[in-house]
Amino acid sequence: MAIRGVTMDVSSDGVAVIKFFNPPVNALSPPILAGLKRKLDKAIERVDVKAMVLMGEGGKFCGGFDINVFQSIQRKGNSAAPEVSGGLVVKTIEEAKKPTVAAIDGLALGGGLELAMGCHARVSTPKSQLGLVELALGIIPGMGGTQRLPRLVGISKAIEMMLLSQTIMSEEGEKLGLIDVVASSNNVLKLAQSWALDIAERRRPWLSSLCRTDRLGPLSEAREVVKVARLQARQNAANMPQHQACLDAVEEGIVHGGYSGILKEAEVSNVLVSSSTAKALMHVFFAQRAASKVPNVTDIGLRPRHVEKVAIIGGGIMGSGIATALILSGISVVLKEIDVEYLKKGMKVVEANLQGLAAKGNITKEKAERAFSILKGVLDYSEFRHVDMVIEAATENVLLKQSIFGEIEKVCTPHCILATNTSTINLNIVGRETNSQDRIIGAHFFSPAHVMPLLEIIRTERTSAQVILDLMTLGKMIKKVPIVVGNCTGFAVNRTFFPYGQGSHFLVNLGVDLFRIDKVIRDFGLKIGPFQLQDLAGPGLRKEAGKEYANAFPDRIFSSPLAELMVINGRYGKSNGKGYYIYEKGNKPKPDYSIQSLIEESRRLSNIMPSGKPITVNDQDIVEMIFFPVVNEACRVMDEGIVVRASDLDIASTLGMNFPSYRGGIVFWADTFGSGYIYTKLKKLSEAYGGFFKPCKFLEERASRGMTLSAPASRSEVSRSNL
């Protein structure tokens, strides 16, 4: 078995094979970088070595620089930076008097690809994943990638790959000039060795990526490409400094040469590593991985059972979206509806979903057809005997769901998982009439279910660990990020965010302009504001969910007359083209200022404006008045043990509610203010406007102890938790 570190073997024909091993992804940690430098120096020095090959052990070339080191730098400053930098290793390779060839297997990402680009040629196995994905972490490539990638694949493609953190397969890499040759896993090392010898003995060209200019094109064209990219980045990545910084480094290299570009890259990299964006995005990276570890589920040696066939009850927007997600991953689906008309409609929605993905180029036409062929529409339960899981996606009606669960318990096999896609209703109520509590679970998808990445898995006190693990595994199979949460009204995501919509109504009723609120929230980083979101959801679901929240949390509900007035006036939102906005085919939604009379009426009815006059607030006040009540509810969710750890709520909020990931998620963002600040602010707001803003006990305690909200619960707090 390989030992963590760097090894070197010199073959009889004079090729030094330098292998590095740092499982699970061969990240470039300080010891690995130092080891690489030592072995390279040795190989360069040894007279019996003519050339070198660089290879990652264990089926993966390299997943990049070790992101833990960046987090240490963020905490401790530059003293935590490695003594041997990645840049120095690449420089050693590139400037050596002996050539090096990279033998890439599996993946070469970030610093891993930068290491490979510093080599004089690259041999790769088929389907290896290649990319400079650093921008997704809030930084830019920092080992010369901003300079070498444009010189290998051309400026346009390089910018596209870096700005979108896009990965490509080695076959495309070969066409682009990033990979010299693709070879099978068995052959990759051998071919890299002979290629290295060929270069050393001048049978193949000795190319240094940094010195190449042939793919850069004329200066004026290159500058134009950068200019257009800047404009796009300004629109698409407004709050993320790494995009412009990456373009700065690329432009410097184009105008003043690769070495100047490298210096610029180093300068901006150093600043970006400690930026709030990088801190937030790196937190999200690790938080997402932490979410897949669920105590007493993933650590007790259980093996997931394979789910091959799923039945879905209800072919509405949710049911058809879930069906789409499943069949796209090769899982057969039986879609049940109550009559032929509804069934036809549901099947058509699935077909349209698939066609939409194919039209966008996300999947091929053949894949869409293959997926559709494993979907079967049914009107009764006869097929349910053969399924491994049922996902109920009927309307949000407690009695209906209870009767469905009573029925499926009878028709399915005893091992069949019984899941519900309810977004609010307590699972104990849904499954009350059954004797199958151990296999009842929530599978809460977010709309559109075939697009949104989050799968909120809800366990009750009686759901078995096996069933939780099976659903987590299914979630990963269909490319979702599963978060396991406890059972309560609204569960983790909708419960935490129910004050979001209500807070926005509170502000409107206090006299703040409705469209300004949406704009401020968009500028903060959400794709759409709360009112446009309400237009999308429509009044039906909101009304049903609203009732559940009002029953469960009567002390902190704000019932806005405006929501009711909109319905009375036939403004159902996007579904009928008329809501807070006007929806016309082919046009962007336009604010409908004619709703002002309804807003005035709502303000009159709610009568919450101090002395009947609109309040004056700045944009930051709006953000805080909308999101601090959300943070307050997040505190209750953590206090009740609904989530395993605080960072699960960060992932849930970024993937389920589009909370900007560059703000790290709702709890991470809250901790940038501090519990004391939020407590004081909410206390003042509650004194002025009542219980909706009243800080909860958990927040008060954390504030009084000067603790962060994300700090793990103390022993006494853990014993209160129900997970």
Ligand X SMILES: C[C@H](O)CC(=O)SCCNC(=O)CCNC(=O)[C@H](O)C(C)(C)COP(=O)(O)OP(=O)(O)OC[C@H]1O[C@@H](n2cnc3c(N)ncnc32)[C@H](O)[C@@H]1OP(=O)(O)O
Per CB under 6 A, residues contacting ligand X are 24-25, 27, 63-68, 86, 107, 109-111, 114, 133-134, 137, 141-143, 145, 286, 289
Strand order in the sheet with 309-313: 375-378, 332-336, 309-313, 389-392, 417-420, 440-445, 454-458, 481-485
Which CB, 208 or 270, lies closer to ligand X? 270
Q: How far does CA 207 lie from the centroid of its chain? A: 38
E strand residue ranges, 95-180? 100-104, 107-109, 121-124, 129-131, 168-169
Location of structure tokens 């007035």:
565
List 57, 94, 114, 396, catalytic entry: 114
State yes or no: is 114 an active-site residue: yes
Cβ 134 to ligand X, closest distance in Å?
5
Rounded to a whole number of angstroms, the minimum distance from the CB of residue 72 to ligand X is 11
Residue whose token pair is 């979101």: 533
191, amino acid identity: L
Indicate the residue among 112 and 573 with the shorter CB distance to ligand X: 112
Question: Residue 458 in contact with residue 284, Cβ under 8 Å?
Answer: no
Shortest reach from residue 60's CB to ligand X, in Å: 7
Rank residues 109 and 368 by Cβ distance to ligand X and give the closer one: 109
Residues whose CB falls within 8 Å of the CB of residue 4, separated by 6 or more in sequence, listed in order: 21, 22, 23, 31
Extract the tokens encoding 370: 């293959």
Pick 137 or 622: Cβ nearer ligand X: 137
**Backbone angles phi and psi of 360, in degrees to 5:** -80, -5
The distance in angstroms from the start CA to the end CA of the chain is 39
Q: Report H helices in 414-479.
A: 427-430, 465-477
Question: In whole angstroms, how close is the CB of 138 to ligand X at the nearest point?
Answer: 10
Q: What is the DSSP letter of 121?
A: E
Cα within 13 Å of Cα(239), Cβ side: 17
Structure tokens at 369: 């057809």
Structure tokens at 39: 């072995």
Q: How far is the CB of 360 from ligand X (least distance, A)?
A: 23
CB of 66 to ligand X, least distance (A): 4
Instruction: Rank residues 24 and 218 by Cβ distance to ligand X and give the closer one.
Output: 24
Q: Which residues of 578-612 are buried (b: 16+ CB within 10 A; e: fewer)?
A: bbbbbbeeeeebebbeebeebbeebbeebebeeee
> With respect to ligand X, which residue has the nearer C-beta, 61 or 549?
61
DSSP summary character for residue 135: G
* Smallest separation (angstroms) from ligand X to the CB of 545: 33
The Cα angle at residue 284 between residues 291 and 620, in degrees rounded to 5: 125
Q: Quick one: 68 or 403, whose CB is closer to ligand X?
A: 68
Of 273 and 635, which has the nearer Cβ to ligand X?
273
Would you say 6 or 143 has its CB closer to ligand X?
Answer: 143
Distance CA 425, CA 501 (A): 18
Give whichever of 61 and 692 is closer to ligand X, judged by the CB atom: 61
- Cβ neighbours of residue 95 closer than 8 Å, sequence gap 6 or more: none
d(C-alpha 398, C-alpha 427), whole Å = 10
Closest approach, Cβ 334 to ligand X, in A, equals: 30
Residues facing 417 on adjacent strands: 389
Q: In what order do the strands lie in the sheet with 100-104?
A: 5-10, 15-21, 51-56, 100-104, 121-124, 181-182
Partners of residue 168 on adjacent β-strands? 130
Catalytic residue among 134, 396, 409, 624: 134
Min dist CB 282 to ligand X, Å, is: 9
AA identity, residue 579:
G
> Residue 116: phi, psi to the nearest 5?
-65, -35
Bridge partners for 418 per DSSP: 390, 440
Residue least distant from ligand X (Cβ): 110
- The minimum distance between CB 397 and ligand X, in angstroms, equals 39
Q: Cα 516 from chain centroid?
A: 28
456 among known catalytic residues: no
Give the CA count within 13 Å in the CB-facing half-sphere of 341: 0
Most distant pair of Cα atoms in the chain: their distance: 91
Other C-beta atoms within 10 Å of 352: how many?
Answer: 12
Catalytic annotation, residues: 114, 134
